[in-house]
Structure 1
Amino acid sequence: MAGNRAVAYKGPGKVEVIDTDYPEFELKDAPGINTANIGRKVPHGVILRTVATNICGSDQHMVRGRTTAPTDLVLGHEITGEVVEVGPDVEFIKVGDIVSVPFNISCGRCRNCKERKTGICLNVNPDRPGSAYGYVDMGGWVGGQAEHVLVPYADWNLLKFPDRDQALEKIMDLAMLSDILPTGYHGVVTAGVGVGSTVYIAGAGPVGLAAAASAHLLGAAVVIVGDMNEQRLAQARSFGCETVDVSKGAPAEQIEQILGVPEVDCGVDAVGFEARGHGKDASHEAPATVLNSLMDITAAGGALGIPGLYVTGDPGAVDEAAKKGSLSISLGTGWAKSLSFTTGQCPVMKYNRQLMMAILHDKIQIAKAVNAKAIPLDDAPKGYAEFDAGAATKYVLNPNGYIKN
């Protein structure tokens, strides 16, 4: 049996590249695998040789020790690959296809999947709606920061690229289709961004930058990105965004200097539960800060897109309530202003084909926007450390040498 190498969580602040089992068309017992999924047959799946697999901010939450992720969990939910084996029930996907893998696993059969709510599939996670590769409490499907990975329900889940040579030429852009580009796009779509909109995006990490690029794609008039990391703010300015440094204070006054009014039409939270305060409180964690500030600065009748991750279990939270996902949110402000909120996993399949076409026809240069950088699998620990230190870089692991620098 062929071997496999993968990136595994080894405890707070530590990841390692380990030797692990080559995938089979059956879920085996392993760290993080839901016990009810052990022995589950996957004749509808394929095995991919990984072309690109990205380090995500959601992975970083686990690696910081801010979830209940078990030691030795194989990480990685942003996957692009080449099909090398197909299960007996796979009809349309073929060996040799280059494909993008939505990070949320869905069956294509349940009520939610049929309603395009693939982020909350009812059949792939025995504990709750919704699942993902290599992520805590998401059903225990093995992660894709590896040389090879199993993908279930392949005919449904996989987005096949139409031309192999074109795909490999644009692979750094197409690698963003598994998560951050659809997630950022979902954030701005649910915030109501359209032609002429003014939008404030909290967070200049990869998802925030993808949201900003998506806002431009949708015709926003002004895109403002807020963060306290100057390197990341500079990256946002590199493709036409205005920026706000929240270490200097709450965003309203700085937004007023840009727009003439202290509010925007649309707000996006691309930060999530490890948010920090603004101004003099910027060094302290305050998980409700972004949500509350967005309600303050979003115009009455507007909407908030919330692709930033919030969890129900956070061992490192600042107080007992936050450890259970309970935050001091000013819901009264949201109610008084008739604001709309959209939270949860992005349903990647709702957007990924259209975004693929935008990439293939040069309507968006997402790899440039997020400063994507390919690194070998063995450099994953270094990539995690640099990303955690605030590097304005989207790290793309290149485990099988498909990406030519």
Structure 2
Amino acid sequence: MVRGRTTAPAGLTLGHEITGEVIETGRDVEFIKEGDLVSVPFNIACGRCRNCKERHTGVCENVNRERPGAAYGYVDMGGWHGGQADYAVVPYADFNLLKFPADRDTVMEKLPDLAMLSDIFPTGYHGAHTAGVTTGSTVYVAGAGPVGLACATACLLLGAAVVIVGDMNERRLEQARGFGCETIDLSEHGDVGAQIEQILGVPEVDAAVDCVGFEARGQGHEGAGTEQPATVLNTLMDVARPAAGLGIPGLYVTGDPGASDENAKEGQLGLRIGLGWAKSQYFVTGQCPVMTYNRQLMMAILYDRVQIARNVNASVIPLEQAPQGYAEFDRGAARKYILDPHGMVGAAA
């Protein structure tokens, strides 16, 4: 959206990862009170439709006229304004908001970690959980951006024995190594299976997660730099063992006007589905239903079982510096930026 690649309308306030303090409540809000410190799941959900009642809050049927599912400040997701602003409005607040139960001082101390609960930590956890990561698993995570680093963190939290992260950005790979991951530099090595074999002794893993999505690029000296949107999915099918799970929290779109070929512009990719079928692998795709995970992950943060802000290298900047943050991230910064419009996070730090 920032690059102008999507159909997002001019004037849409971006920002689907929101954490904040309640300063006013609507007349129908019963349980959320002014002064509460809360996490806002990026999924907007009514809490009343069939999908919401079945905990599929990423595809709520009542908050987007075009199709199931909505999000703040996001293209084709209902037109709701986002949180990269001084204030934000949250509909169906009693259902959507996660109130932090700890005392205010504790919450403020852990705010950089708790800010990750609106999207990337649950999304990374969703990718790991749906891929079947458990005690003793070997896992390949494609992508060392913030979601990939959050997924690697989740894999370790779930008890994985070895977590291997692949990326083309050495700074981000260094960040992954900093909390116990093995890494593969995909700009140097196109054969991921061979690199996994050097680490594990076998060229396959128990589970694999795509934290890249439709902007994937080719791997190795020859392919690096060119858009090849099916590369990651095909690689995951190749390196995941038979009957393994593939978690796919990486974003794929139904339309991509800026794609490099006509098929990709319609969301059609050159997927080796026969390989996945032959290996009896299963795929789980789509938006993370944040409310399935956010409360448990909040407790892990509050009781010091995980340091997600450290692992994704969270950096607090004022709201006015958001354009600078976007530019730095686009150049490959190994950071997750927290915009702090009222100085609350900075003051707590």
Given that 1:206 and 1:393 are in contact with CA atoms closer than 8 Å, whether structure 2 keeps it comes out as yes
Counterpart for residue 269 of structure 1:
210
Q: State whether structure 2 residue 301 is matched by structure 1 residue 356.
A: no
After TM superposition, the score normalised by the length of structure 1 is 0.84
- What CA distance in whole angstroms lies between the structure 2 residues aligned with 1:298 and 1:120? 28
The one-letter amino acid paired with 2:55 is R
Cα 1:192–1:95 change in 2 (3 A) is same
- Aligned partner of residue 187 in structure 2, secondary structure: helix
Q: 1:155 aligns with which of 94, 97, 101?
A: 94
- What CA distance in whole angstroms lies between the structure 2 residues aligned with 1:369 and 1:134? 26
RMSD of equivalent CA atoms = 0.6
Counterpart for residue 72 of structure 2:
133
Counterpart for residue 229 of structure 1:
169
Q: 2:179 aligns with which of 239, 243, 259?
A: 239
Q: 1:124 aligns with which of 60, 63, 68?
A: 63
Counterparts of 1:194-343 in structure 2, within 5 Å, are 194-248=134-188, 249-279=190-220, 280-343=222-285
- What CA distance in whole angstroms lies between the structure 1 residues aligned with 2:266 and 2:47? 31
- What CA distance in whole angstroms lies between the structure 2 residues aligned with 1:231 and 1:345? 27
After TM superposition, give the deviation of residue 247 of structure 1 in Å.
Answer: 1.1
Unaligned 5+ residue runs, structure 1? 1-61
Given that 1:302 and 1:338 are in contact with CA atoms closer than 8 Å, whether structure 2 keeps it comes out as yes
- Aligned partner of residue 11 in structure 2, secondary structure: coil
Which protein is richer in strand relative to its size?
1
- What CA distance in whole angstroms lies between the structure 2 residues aligned with 1:140 and 1:259? 46
- What CA distance in whole angstroms lies between the structure 1 residues aligned with 2:146 and 2:64? 27
Q: State whether structure 2 residue 104 is matched by structure 1 residue 164.
A: yes
Task: Figure out how many residues of one structure are paired with residues of the other and give that number.
Answer: 344
After TM superposition, give the deviation of residue 66 of structure 1 in Å.
Answer: 2.2
- What CA distance in whole angstroms lies between the structure 2 residues aligned with 1:66 and 1:177? 27
The one-letter amino acid paired with 1:389 is R
- What CA distance in whole angstroms lies between the structure 2 residues aligned with 1:346 and 1:100? 15
- What CA distance in whole angstroms lies between the structure 2 residues aligned with 1:264 and 1:194? 12
- What CA distance in whole angstroms lies between the structure 1 residues aligned with 2:268 and 2:12? 26
- What CA distance in whole angstroms lies between the structure 2 residues aligned with 1:214 and 1:174? 15
Listed one character per residue, the Cα deviations across residues 357-388 of structure 1 (whole Å, up to 9, x for unaligned) are: 00000000000000000000010000000001
After TM superposition, the score normalised by the length of structure 2 is 0.98
The one-letter amino acid paired with 1:293 is T
- What CA distance in whole angstroms lies between the structure 2 residues aligned with 1:137 and 1:283? 28
Given that 1:188 and 1:268 are in contact with CA atoms closer than 8 Å, whether structure 2 keeps it comes out as yes
The one-letter amino acid paired with 1:237 is R
The one-letter amino acid paired with 2:256 is D
The one-letter amino acid paired with 2:324 is K
Q: State whether structure 2 residue 121 is matched by structure 1 residue 181.
A: yes
- What CA distance in whole angstroms lies between the structure 1 residues aligned with 2:180 and 2:46? 39
Identity %: 72
- Runs of 4+ displaced beyond 3 Å: none
